[in-house]
Structure 1
Amino acid sequence: MFKHILIPTDGSPLAEQAVDRGIRLANGFRAQVTLVTVTEPFSVFSLKPLQLSLTESEYAEAMQQRGRDLLAAGAALAQELGVPLDPVVIEDEHPYDAIIEVADARGCDLIAMASHGRRGVSALVLGSETQKVLTHCEIPVLVFR
């Protein structure tokens, strides 16, 4: 049914569960997987210690390495199951935009991702990347809870 599944992760426990479940789903469909994580761009006006202590190029390399580290467990599971996997680390201020962009560019026919896990006022105020993907994407989205 599905031939190419995009699975985004931010490294949170819920997202890692979705990675595991998404790769196993891909195995059942004999689909390939694009596993993606989105890093935050460097900002001169940041108060985050990592951005204050590194140059822009050092920060970019640190974020690429962090992204590769986040994708390592999923890549290992895919290899163990024989699922073709392409790991992608992309930088964007808006993770939902990057997720949709990568899915479109790679010809994915399903996005499988975790729900945000927030409830109540924090969900209304902060929103979630999952909700934004659901709102702006034309590709089917499977949400794992």
Structure 2
Amino acid sequence: MKFKKTINAPQQYIFDKVIESVLFDIERSINRKLNAKVLQGFEYQKVISGRDASTIKIDEVTIPSVYAFSTETPTGYYTTRWEFKNVSEAQTEIFINESMKAKSLMQVTNNFIMRAFMQQAKKRSMQAMLDKMVESYKKGGA
């Protein structure tokens, strides 16, 4: 899935908000605080929706332009890459690319069907998340 959006907030601000969210997620998963400087290459376990544990690895952190991670679940491998492009002092173009590779033929079929039904919902969710970041910026960068 590919997603592209230009938003009215500075590149560094949006990048920082994404990394802040990542750090919060890691802290909840491992009960330990980290900082952005040690993220690249960091790997941790996370239980998603009360099911099996997934392994998440931070593949790339290039401040303030790239955040990429991969996730291995019992059923497949997923990669997500966020790119932040400075359009102007107050605008950022965001590219999000997600891909998946199933571990079994049955899962390939399941992923195809789920993608058909869930892709629009996933894009709406990403849009809502970005809208909240922009709103936060407009309210003074809280």
Whether TM exceeds 0.5 here: the answer is: no
Q: TM-score, normalised by structure 2?
A: 0.28
Structure with higher RCO (Cα < 8 A, 6+ apart) = 1
Structure number with higher strand proportion:
2
Structure number with higher helix proportion:
1
Q: TM-score, normalised by structure 1?
A: 0.28
